[in-house]
Structure 1
Amino acid sequence: MAEKLAFAEGTFDGCFGCGTSNRVGLRLVFEREGDDVVSRTSLGREYAGYKDFVHGGIVATMLDEAMGWALFHLAGSYGVTHTLNVRYRRPVLVGREVVVRASIADQDERRYRLRARVEDELGRVLATAEGEWAAVREQRAAGV
Structure 2
Amino acid sequence: MTEKRRYIEKPVGHHCFGCGTANPVGLNMQFYPCGDMLCSDVVLRGEHVGWENIAHGGIISTLLDEIMSWSIIYFRRVFFVTRKMEVKYVAPVPVGAPLTARGRIVDPADPRHLKLAGELVDAGGRVLAKSKGDFVELSLERLPGVPEVVKEEMMRLFSIYASAGNARVSAEGAGNG
The TM-score with structure 2 as length reference comes to 0.76
The answer to which of 81-90 and 106-115 deviates more is 106-115
2:112 is the counterpart of 1:110: yes
Q: Is the 8 A contact 2:11 2:20 kept in 1?
A: no
| In 1, Cα distance between equivalents of 2:83 and 2:19 | 20
Aligned length: 142
Question: Which has the greater radius of gyration?
Answer: 2
Residues 22-59 of structure 1 show CA distances to partners (whole Å, capped at 9, x for unaligned) of 01111111001111110001011101000110000000
Q: Which one has the bigger strand percentage?
A: 1
Match for residue 5 of structure 2 among 2, 5, 9: 2
Residues 107-138 of structure 1 show CA distances to partners (whole Å, capped at 9, x for unaligned) of 20311000000000110000000000001134
Aligned in 2, Cα 1:65/1:141: closer, same or farther, shift over 3 Å? farther
Identity of aligned residues (%): 35
Which residue does 1:122 correspond to in 2? 124
Please give the root-mean-square deviation of Cα atoms over the aligned residues, in Å: 1.6
Residues 1-28 of structure 1 show CA distances to partners (whole Å, capped at 9, x for unaligned) of 5331123444xx1100000000111111
Aligned in 2, Cα 1:141/1:42: closer, same or farther, shift over 3 Å? farther
Which residue does 1:72 correspond to in 2? 73
| In 1, Cα distance between equivalents of 2:99 and 2:144 | 28
Note the 1:22-61 alignment, pairs <5 A. Answer: 22-61=23-62
Q: Which one has the bigger helix percentage?
A: 2
Q: Residue type matched to 1:106 in 2?
A: D
Residues 68-90 of structure 1 show CA distances to partners (whole Å, capped at 9, x for unaligned) of 10001011222110000000000
Q: Is the 8 A contact 1:52 1:94 kept in 2?
A: yes
- Segments of 5+ residues of structure 2 without an aligned counterpart are 148-177
4+ runs of 1 displaced by more than 2 Å? 6-10
